[in-house]
Amino acid sequence: MANRKRNIMIRFRVTPEEKTMIEEKMTQVGTSNMEGYLRKMSIDGYILKLDLPELKEMISLLRRSSNNFNQIAKRMNQTSRIYEADIECLRENQEKLWDMANKILTQLAAIK
């Protein structure tokens, strides 16, 4: 115990209902470590866990768009030509990215 970083213990009592509420909130944020959860809550006052699969999808689309853009730029440098289909593909990807960004921002704005 002497080598512990946190060597001061704080204890408090709760009702069975309060304990159930704490455990439910721990489940919501995906933790089973009550000590860590209570420490985080008492210091910061809140825990925010964001699960945005749209963000992962957006990152994937950004990678694909970057690859497409690089391939088009390379071909254009080699042949001095750009095709209408290439421009349309880039435009569609940009629209998808903007739509996803707006959706994510709307979800974040709805967090209370």
SS3 55: helix
Crossing angle of the two packed helices 16-29 and 34-44, in degrees rounded to 10: 90
Domain assignment present for 36: yes
Range of the domain at 16: 8-49
63 and 105 fall within a common domain: yes
64 and 101 fall within a common domain: yes
14 vs 48 pLDDT, higher one: 14
Evaluate whether 101 touches 61 at the Cβ level (below 8 Å). Answer: no
Domain assignment present for 78: yes
Rounded to 10 degrees, the C-alpha dihedral 90/104/49/56 comes to -20
Domain assignment present for 3: no
Looking at the whole model, is its pTM more than 0.85? Answer: no
Per-residue pLDDT at 95 exceeds 60: yes
Domain assignment present for 1: no
Q: Residue 81 has what DSSP assignment?
A: -
Band (pLDDT 50/70/90 cuts) for residue 47 is low
Per-residue pLDDT at 109 exceeds 90: no
Q: Is 4 exposed, middle or buried (0-12, 13-18, 19+ CB in 10 A)?
A: exposed
- In this predicted model, what pLDDT tens digit does every residue of 2-40 receive, in sequence order? 678 888 888 989 999 999 999 999 998 889 999 999 998
87 and 105 fall within a common domain: yes
44 and 68 fall within a common domain: no
- How many domains is the chain built from? 2
